[in-house]
C-alpha cells in the first residue's frame, strides 16, 4: 500500500506538472495569436485610411507615425520587413538612412511562404527570458497579395503559472504526506491483522511432529482464505495422526518380526549341538562302561555350555530392548575411563587426557559399558598377525561436552558399511550378535549425546563419543 501510494503520488505530481506546462504553452500561443490578430486588424484599418498606394515601397510612409501608436496601444514591438527579409520599419526607433538592417533568415522566409496560413513562429531565449517570434505576411486587403512581412516578438511571462504550480505542489505535498501517514497506519493495521493469524498457523506448523500428539488450531478470522488454511491444517493433523498410528504399528510389528527371527536364529544355533550331544549320549551310553562318569561329565559340560550361550543371547536382547536406567552420580570422567582400561591386559593400549578432571553427573556403570565395548571392538578390529598394534583412548573437554575417542590402527570399515554400523544384528566380525554398538548408541542418545566415527580402510577407525556435561 505504501509503495502504491508513493508511485501514484509521483505519477500524479508528474502528470500535473506536465499539464501545467502544456496549459502554459497553449496560453502563450493563444495570447500571441490574439495579439497578432488585433495588431493586423489595426494595421488593416491604417491601410484603409491611407492615401498612398498599397505597395511595399510605401510602407515606411504609411506607418511613419502610426507604427509607434499601434505599438503603444498593444504594448508590443512591431517590425515590418519587405518580402526579401529586409527591415523597413520598426516601432523601437526610426530608421536611419544608410544603416544596415538585420535580415530575416532564408529558412523563415521559405516557411512563411509555403505554410498554409503564411505564418511561422520561432522560439528563442534571450538573457534568460523565453521569446516567441511570429512571422506572417502583411496583406493588401484589396488585392489579397503580400506587401511585407510582419514580425512580432512576444515575451513569455511564466510568473503566474509558476506561482500556480508552486501553490498546487505545496497543497499536493501536504495531501501526499497525509496519504503516506494514513497508508502506513492502514498497512500496519492490515499486516498485523493478517500476520497475527498467520503467525499462529506458522507456530503450529513449527510444532507439528510425527512423534507426538499435535493440537488443532482453534482460530476464527474474518478472512475466508485463512479459515480455509486453518481447516486444511486441522484436516492434515487428523490424517497425520492416523498415518503416524499406522506407521508406529507397522514399525512395531516389523521390529518384533525381526527380533523374533533373530532370537529364533540365535537360539537355534546352540540347539543343534545339544540335540546331537543328547542323541550321541543316548546311543553310546553304557552303564557298565568304566568311563561312564567321565562321559557323563563331558555331556553335562556340553549342555551347560550351550545353555549358557542361549542365556547370553536372551540377556543381550533383553539389554538391547530396555532403556538403561540412569543412576547418575557426580564423577570424574577421566578417572573412570582410566580405571576401565585397567581391566585390559593389552600393552598397546594408550590413554591420555588434556586435563586431570572433567566433572559431570553420569551413570558410572553405563560409562564403563561404553568404554569397554569400544575398546573391545578396537582390539578385535586389529588382526592377530599385525605386528604394530596401537589403540589410543583420549578424553578432552570441548565447550560443555566431554569427548571420548577410541582410535585403533586396525583394518578399518568398508565405505558400504558406514550407514549400517550402528544397526542391531549387523557385525563385520565372524562372531558376536552385532548388538554392542547398537546398545551403547542407545545409552549415549539417552544422555543426549552423540557417537560418530571416522575410518580409512587398512589404516584404522576412530570412534568419538560426545556427552553433555551435566552440572549439579
Dig out the grid coordinates for 265 from the structure.
Answer: 536364529
Q: Give the pLDDT score at 162.
A: 77
Residue 432 has pLDDT above 60, yes or no: no
Residue 21 has pLDDT above 90, yes or no: no
Dig out the grid coordinates for 405 from the structure.
Answer: 575417542
Lowest mean pLDDT among 169-178, 282-291, 389-398: 282-291
SS3 of residue 453 by DSSP:
strand
Q: How far apart are CA 428 and CA 424, in angstroms?
A: 12
Instruction: Look at 408 and 216; give whichever has higher pLDDT.
Output: 408
Q: Give the pLDDT score at 191.
A: 76
Instruction: Look at 311 and 450; give whichever has higher pLDDT.
Output: 450
Average pLDDT of the chain, as a whole number? 80
Q: Give the pLDDT score at 260.
A: 66
Q: How far apart are CA 393 and CA 397, in angstroms?
A: 14
Residues 345-370: tens digit of each pLDDT: 888 999 999 989 899 888 888 888 88
Q: What is the CATH number of domain 2-163?
A: 3.30.450.20
Q: Give the pLDDT score at 171.
A: 86
Dig out the grid coordinates for 210 from the structure.
Answer: 510425527
Q: Give the pLDDT score at 291.
A: 75
Give the residue carrying C-alpha cell 491611407.
50
Query: Comparing C-alpha atoms, which of 195, 191, 224, 197 is closest to residue 1?
Result: 191
Instruction: Give the residue extent of every domain in the chain.
Output: 2-163, 224-321, 329-468
Residue 467 has pLDDT above 80, yes or no: yes
Percent of the chain with pLDDT over 90: 12
Q: Give the pLDDT score at 332.
A: 92
For the beta carbon of residue 9, count every other beta carbon within 10 angstroms. Answer: 18
Residues 186-240: tens digit of each pLDDT: 888 877 777 777 777 777 777 776 666 777 777 666 667 777 877 887 888 888 8
Q: Give the pLDDT score at 393.
A: 95
Q: How far apart are CA 141 and CA 44, in angstroms?
A: 7
Dig out the grid coordinates for 21 from the structure.
Answer: 506546462
The pTM score is 0.39
Lowest mean pLDDT among 120-129, 290-299, 439-448: 290-299
- How far apart, in Å, are the Cα atoms of 161 and each of 64, 158, 223? 38, 5, 50
Q: Give the pLDDT score at 407.
A: 95
The answer as to CATH 3.30.565.10 being correct for domain 329-468 is: yes
Residue 98 has pLDDT above 50, yes or no: no
Amino acid at each position: 500500500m505504501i509503495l502504491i501510494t508513493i508511485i501514484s503520488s509521483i505519477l500524479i505530481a508528474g502528470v500535473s506538472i506536465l499539464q501545467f506546462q502544456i496549459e502554459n504553452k497553449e496560453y502563450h500561443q493563444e495570447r500571441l495569436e490574439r495579439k497578432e490578430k488585433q495588431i493586423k486588424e489595426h494595421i488593416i484599418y491604417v491601410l484603409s485610411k491611407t492615401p498612398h498606394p498599397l505597395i511595399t515601397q510605401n510602407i515606411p510612409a504609411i506607418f511613419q507615425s502610426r507604427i509607434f501608436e499601434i505599438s503603444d496601444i498593444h504594448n508590443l514591438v512591431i517590425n515590418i520587413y519587405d518580402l526579401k527579409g529586409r527591415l523597413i520599419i520598426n516601432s523601437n526607433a526610426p530608421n536611419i538612412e544608410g544603416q544596415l538592417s538585420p535580415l530575416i533568415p532564408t529558412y523563415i522566409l521559405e516557411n512563411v511562404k509555403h505554410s498554409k496560413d503564411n505564418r511561422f513562429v520561432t522560439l528563442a531565449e534571450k538573457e534568460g527570458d523565453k521569446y516567441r517570434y511570429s512571422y506572417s505576411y502583411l496583406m493588401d486587403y484589396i488585392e489579397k497579395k503580400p506587401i511585407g512581412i510582419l514580425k512580432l516578438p512576444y515575451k513569455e511571462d511564466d510568473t503566474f503559472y509558476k506561482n500556480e504550480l508552486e501553490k498546487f505542489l505545496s497543497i499536493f505535498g501536504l495531501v501526499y504526506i497525509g496519504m503516506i501517514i494514513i497508508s502506513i497506519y492502514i498497512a500496519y493495521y492490515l499486516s498485523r491483522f493478517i500476520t497475527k493469524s498467520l503467525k499462529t498457523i506458522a507456530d503450529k506448523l513449527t510444532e507439528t511432529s510425527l512423534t507426538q500428539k499435535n493440537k488443532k488450531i482453534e482460530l476464527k478470522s474474518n478472512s475466508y482464505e485463512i479459515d480455509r488454511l486453518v481447516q486444511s491444517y486441522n484436516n492434515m493433523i487428523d490424517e497425520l495422526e492416523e498415518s503416524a498410528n499406522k506407521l508406529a504399528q507397522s514399525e512395531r510389528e516389523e521390529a518384533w518380526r525381526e527380533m523374533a527371527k533373530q532370537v529364533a536364529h540365535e537360539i537355534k544355533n546352540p540347539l543343534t549341538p545339544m540335540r546331537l550331544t543328547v542323541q550321541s549320549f543316548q546311543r553310546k551310553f553304557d552303564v557298565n562302561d568304566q568311563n561312564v562318569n567321565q562321559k557323563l561329565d563331558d555331556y553335562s559340560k556340553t549342555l551347560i555350555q550351550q545353555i549358557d550361550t542361549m542365556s547370553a543371547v536372551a540377556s543381550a536382547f533383553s539389554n538391547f530392548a530396555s532403556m538403561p536406567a540412569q543412576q547418575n552420580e557426580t564423577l570424574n570422567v577421566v578417572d573412570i575411563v582410566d580405571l576401565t582400561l585397567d581391566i585390559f591386559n593389552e600393552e598397546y593400549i594408550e590413554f591420555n587426557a588434556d586435563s586431570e578432571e572433567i566433572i559431570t553427573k553420569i551413570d558410572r556403570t553405563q560409562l564403563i559399558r561404553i568404554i569397554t565395548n569400544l575398546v573391545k571392538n578396537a582390539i578385535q578390529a586389529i588382526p592377530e598377525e599385525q605386528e604394530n598394534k596401537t589403540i589410543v583412548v583420549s578424553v578432552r573437554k570441548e565447550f560443555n561436552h566431554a569427548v571420548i575417542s577410541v582410535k585403533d590402527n586396525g583394518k578399518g570399515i568398508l565405505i558400504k558399511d558406514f550407514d549400517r554400523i550402528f544397526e542391531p544384528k549387523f557385525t563385520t566380525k565372524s562372531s558376536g550378535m552385532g548388538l554392542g554398538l547398537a546398545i551403547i548408541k542407545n545409552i549415549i542418545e539417552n544422555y543426549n549425546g552423540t557417537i560418530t566415527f571416522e575410518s580409512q580402510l587398512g589404516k584404522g577407525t576412530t570412534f568419538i563419543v560426545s556427552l553433555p556435561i551435566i552440572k549439579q
